[in-house]
Structure 1
Amino acid sequence: MDEYASARLVAAVRRGLAEAGIDTTAPQAAGALLPLDAKRGYLAEVAAAHGLLPLARAGSVLRELAADPAVSALSLATTPAELLDRWRRLERFTHSRHRVEVRGGTGGQITVEHVGPVGIPPEPAEDAVVLGVLVALLGVIGVRGLTVAVGPSAIVVFTGGDFVAPPPVAGSGWWRFEWTGTTPRSPVPVPERSDVVTRVHGLLASDLGRRWSLAEVAAAVGTSGRSLQRALRAAGGFQDLLGAARTEAAAALLLAGTHPLSTIGFACGYADQPHFTREFTRRTAMSPAAYRHSFS
């Protein structure tokens, strides 16, 4: 079976390289995906001509793509661990052949490994790109004092807010992130005069990628979990309200007509593509694809 890669990621890499003064010709895609071999060939050519450092630095362009639903959902993470959790869910959504696996972590440190199918690890150029994207996202969510070491020799490649050395080819997919702190995110404002259902709906819709708990939401609106359950009963309950918020957000993105279904499903908090299709169809009597075709 043919394998594919994200055309948007490759386009972002090309843009990041261009901003660094490196002009490249990226493979063209007819839609959201392009053949995996085309992506790997492009990155390998860049690495051969310019090394791995520009590929790692190219991830900084993610800061300019905040309007992209997937980038927006990733950027709402509040800790490095939550960011990696969201990233792994995005990998499942896009059926990525590569995975970021957490190998350990305590306090202000996490060790991860970028892996592929057995016997087919990511190329060093692919490792460099994903590392660069994750570093950029860590900056977006407010991680301070970030240092990144790569490979079995723990070579420091990122410190002081910039990549200071290229990732080593040997062990290029083994990363240790260390940080000194994070900038607390301002809480989502909850209008006091709105009814409870409206307030909860707005809170859930503000970050559909978050793993909301009833206790968290109750605390945010200033009530107990039991009282909130009673208040939401007429609206179908907490889970039903969360499902409605996801469906409304997904429908709006589908009508925009520009984002891949996998991006929309991930941004709206669904577990994977089958979950997105099943729940959206249950609520609208149409699959996401059919809804887009009918109304956009």
Structure 2
Amino acid sequence: MQDFASAAMVRLLVRAMAAHGLVPPPPPPDIDGLAASHVPLAYKRSVVEAVLQQGGLGTLLQLAQRVDLLAGDPVHRALLGATDVHDLMARWQRLERYVHSRHQVSITASAPGTLTLRHHARPGVREEPHPTESLAVLGVLVGVSQAIGTRALRVEIGASSTPDCRVNLKVGGVATNAAALHAQLAPLAAQKQVVQWTMRWEETTAASQAHNDTALQPQPATHLCDALPWPTLAHQLARHVLCDPAAQHTVEALARHTGFARRSLQRALASGGLSCRHIVTEARARVAAQWLLESPHGLAEIGFACGFADQPHFTREFARHVGLTPARYRQAFARGA
């Protein structure tokens, strides 16, 4: 997989290696350092191999949790907008669909405060994920879960049907020694059991998020639509979307936010010639325009972070609202263009 999500994972591991005193392999000369939106598969594998040689599976799992080192990446911002673990999983699964990932995380069981997950190949893909890929994905999910304020998070690795072959991952507090964690994980990896996880946490009535907003530059301003000649209700919705463009802003979700019934909201907007879809897309396009002008991140990465379904959807809707494709807009107006 050589998409922007893989590139972000490589950036995370390389930065985490340096932060923890390990030596990452030098990036290949044919990519633009660690800011590239795509990295060669061979380099991704060399980074993982360097982590394994210098620390083992336990170190890999721990480094992948350092999502704070991705601050400023659109993917980081989109994932940290999650309100709880369920919302995080919905965003992660949208990321998998956006990049056409060969592997996916499926929810096999769900209950209040509990999710059972499995990392596996998509239908039609023959090659199952390597244990290192599964542990890296789990590490990111655990790291983001902590960052959004999930309370009393506990993680079990391995099949629930074989309790003697499971690893309890300590989250928060004093971390398990990496060497000891490697010794626990190695037998599971050999049996391909690290693809099954159970996450448990303490449910709260209101999300207790721990976002470091100052690190998430460039920050979309909630006033980006204020100059539009819209009624107050439309501006209220636009500001709500601008706060978290990656969220699923369905008509039902917007109605709940405003306190309107679905049909009442649609009628109120229609009286001003507007619709929920138009407001949401306009807000997302304006956030995307800001990212295109003020950051070096790739088009696909920006499209995902701004809530578009896939790259063609981003290109089509951005051009419809702005008048240029994302690539031509950046080329024409970005600093130094």
Q: TM-score, normalised by structure 1?
A: 0.88
Q: CA deviation at 1:26?
A: 4.5
Q: How does 1:62-101 map to 2 (within 5 A)?
A: 62-101=67-106
Identity over aligned residues, as a percent? 35
Q: Which amino acid aligns with 1:214?
A: V
Q: Of 133, 148, 157, which aligns to 1:126? A: 133
**Separation (CA, whole Å) in 1 of partners of 2:273 and 2:173:** 47
**Separation (CA, whole Å) in 2 of partners of 1:156 and 1:262:** 36
**Separation (CA, whole Å) in 1 of partners of 2:261 and 2:282:** 22
Counterpart in the other structure of 1:108: 113
Maintained 8 Å contact 1:218/1:228: yes
Q: CA deviation at 1:75?
A: 0.9
Q: Label 1:8 to 1:218 Cα distance change in 2 as closer, same or farther (>3 A).
A: closer
Q: Moved runs in structure 1, 4+ residues, more than 4 A? A: 160-163
Greater relative contact order (Cα < 8 A, sep 6+): 2
Counterpart in the other structure of 1:157: 169
Q: Which amino acid aligns with 1:262?
A: A
Matched, 1:263 2:283: no
Counterpart in the other structure of 1:180: 202
The alignment's C-alpha RMSD in Å is 2.5
Maintained 8 Å contact 2:24/2:50: no
Counterpart in the other structure of 2:19: 19
Maintained 8 Å contact 2:15/2:69: no
Counterpart in the other structure of 2:315: 277
Matched, 1:139 2:123: no
Counterpart in the other structure of 2:214: none
Maintained 8 Å contact 2:25/2:46: no
Secondary structure (helix, strand or coil) at the match of 1:149 reads strand
Q: CA deviation at 1:121?
A: 2.0
Maintained 8 Å contact 2:108/2:118: yes
**Separation (CA, whole Å) in 2 of partners of 1:79 and 1:216:** 16
Q: Which amino acid aligns with 1:51?
A: G
Secondary structure (helix, strand or coil) at the match of 1:148 reads strand
Counterpart in the other structure of 1:207: 244
Q: CA deviation at 1:218?
A: 3.4
Counterpart in the other structure of 1:36: 41
Gap runs ≥5 in structure 1: none
Q: Which amino acid aligns with 1:4?
A: Q
Q: Which amino acid aligns with 2:99?
A: T
Q: Label 1:253 to 1:183 Cα distance change in 2 as closer, same or farther (>3 A).
A: farther
Secondary structure (helix, strand or coil) at the match of 2:199 reads strand
Q: TM-score, normalised by structure 2?
A: 0.78
Counterpart in the other structure of 1:56: 61
**Separation (CA, whole Å) in 1 of partners of 2:101 and 2:317:** 23
Instruction: Tell me the matched-pair count.
Output: 290
